[in-house]
Structure 1
Amino acid sequence: MEIYTVKPNDNIDQIALTYKVPVDSLIYINQMVYPYALALGQALLIPTANSAKSRVPAETLGYAYPFISPWVLSESLPYLSSLYVFSYGFTEEGELVEPVLDDAWMIEAAKGQRTRPVLTFTSIGPDGRFHSSLIHTLLGDLQLQQRIIWQLGRTMQEKGFQGIDIDFEYIPAEDRVPFAEFVALVRHILSPFGYRVSVALAPKTSSDQQGLLYEGVDYRLLGEAADQVMLMTYEWGYTYGPPMAVAPLNMVRRVAEYALTQIPKEKIILGIPNYGYDWPLPYVRGTTKARTIGNVEAVQLAISHGAAIRFDEQAQSPYFHYAQNGVRHEVWFEDVRSYRAKFALIRELGLKGAGYWQMMQLFRAGLILMADTFEIAKEV
């Protein structure tokens, strides 16, 4: 595949003629909307027949809620090794809290595409929020842990899950070692039944990094405890933060390079955001709230407002500004250029693969580019 950046006076017919590819192919791959207008600076993925680049094997996973569109899921599954169903929580009494909506259809759809369905186990309580107190209660009671693990194993067997991902956030600093021991216990109990255990890790750049997200996460211990880890390398730009790239490559690299000092590279999945944010300006800390936006939606927003898309070379991320109802906005999102940079980092560092948060909106060009870069590890 090649990437073309739209220039002044370009149109889709001219680009298709230049590259000798059908217009319909460009429209389909890039999810263009009639009348197929283009934004200045927009990145288009173009299929070519002269690529000699070798693909490398990779694990590819994506998180999804049970309310995902069946069409979006069916379009995404061919590109995924594993589907992480989000999510299963628990109560202080040790009762498993299942998703409100039925997830059986997702599990069956995944199996139909030789994609491994994985149960995502979180520290989310009945109120739908992450809780440090729940984590502390669980990690301080071995009987509670055994009760939870037994329920997880039974649920996985009954529903047909083929693995488990542990995604605990805001782990108390004093529970750093007990959390790793819990992950190891889950693996010890479930591995004999063929279940692979993964763990999602907050994006640390050093062992002594301060903050509620980081102090309870020990990369070395968790790398030893789990079969694989997923680095949550996104959310530098976030809902309540100042406008910036969601996953700036310079910061993603720092996290990945630190992880390699603590965890074998064959266990590391690099997290990739499948979304962006739209901030109203000026940004006021504690007041401004960004709107989550899909990658395809972002391009259409730029087109509708006549905005030129720019590309930050350090962050390797696209962004643009527009005005609406007298308010100026700043948008950062992902495109095939930012994905190509992240895929190149995975190849450069020899990591195991890529993990998407989350698959709720389809970004077809990104998935096709991934398949052009990696040989996706599907179940036999």
Structure 2
Amino acid sequence: MTYEFLTNGTKPEKSNFLKLLVLLCLFVFCFACNTKEDKKSTVYPFITSSEPVRIVSVNDGGSIQSLWSNSRQFPNSVTVIELSPDKPPFTKTVEDAAPNTFAGAPYGATISNGRYAFIPNHPFGAANSASDESSIITVVDLDTDKLSTIKTFKMPHHAWQVMSHPDDKRVIAISDHQFHLFQMNGKQPELISQSEPSELYFTSFAISPNGTTIIATAAERLDYSTPVTLHLFELSGNSIQHVTEIGMQQNIGKIDQAFAPRFSPDGKRILALNGLGIAAKPPLDDIINIDMTTSPPKVTEVIKNVAQGLESLAFHPSGRFAVVTCIDGPYIGHLAVIDLTTSPMRILNYIPIEFVTQGIEFSPDGKMLFVQSTTASHISVYEVDGFHLNKSPYVLRTGEGPASLTVIKRNKN
């Protein structure tokens, strides 16, 4: 096809149409890019998450009085916080929702897409008598307005800790000498199995990402002077059996107060804290590494003299680093950021934080870190940028004395 030129030297209308079409496409492209950038750069005056997240803070009101002798007694409570991509946090705190005075590792447990929480309570020190009923686990429906109690289980002495099984259907708990396995039957919780009583006293534990291996800390007596050892257990079906005591590589040194262990996301290593989570004592506490790829597993690395009172830890979902809460005090605590990409592992930095640090969890997508502060009665929030933790100017308010933390991605039913 040939085109004739007009008398003014311009091309016919078809050529003008093509030019207009190109300009229109460029305009649409630029508009789309700007819109995308605007959405990306939106800064809200509140805390958001990239996906729906439920945070459960179990708050031990009595802990405030134990830390500050001139403080009044606060009620126990449970706080449920819902985060979303574009709405302010929805926070609900219910006082006396469940007894929860406890001193175990500050890790919580929920199942069934974050609907049901299992909350332990135990007396401090030795039980007062054989009829002491203060060691219990309360199951709470977090979807109800008043966080209704579904059932309360009377436990053997010292229901120290609970942890969700990766299948989101079962919960594991420990008391002084046993493991206990719970499961929901419809909307009712059931105790489905218990391990044989051990001669040792259990104090804390963790379960592997594949749900078949348990690491537990245990001692011959329940006092601060008795050495604590690390033990490996196997979960097969609903049966928990002891496998072996965890050994140590030569030249590791003295490791006798292990506490609050956790598995890495790939299950190949465990970090634990050497110091029973107690501050205001010499010496400074250590971080220990257990290599789960050896047979049998053993302690292969240690970072000495990290801080006073290492309380809890969280692995980033990438497995590249972990963050440890350090009680320190008396007025301020710290977070220790641990680089796990090097051998041996190393401390990258310390970040000051309000006193006393308790539960710590990353968001499921790894973009945020949440840390409880007991005396401040709030959760500090950090944005994760590589190995950097950037603190939000906003906090998430809890009940008085937050003491254990759970963070769950809420899937649509």
Query: Shorter-chain-normalised TM-score: which range?
Result: 0.3 to 0.5
Between the two structures, name the one with larger relative contact order (CA 8 Å, sep ≥ 6). 1
State the structure with more CA Rg. Answer: 2
Q: Which has the higher strand share?
A: 2
TM-score, normalised relative to structure 1? 0.34
Higher helix proportion (structure 1 or 2) = 1
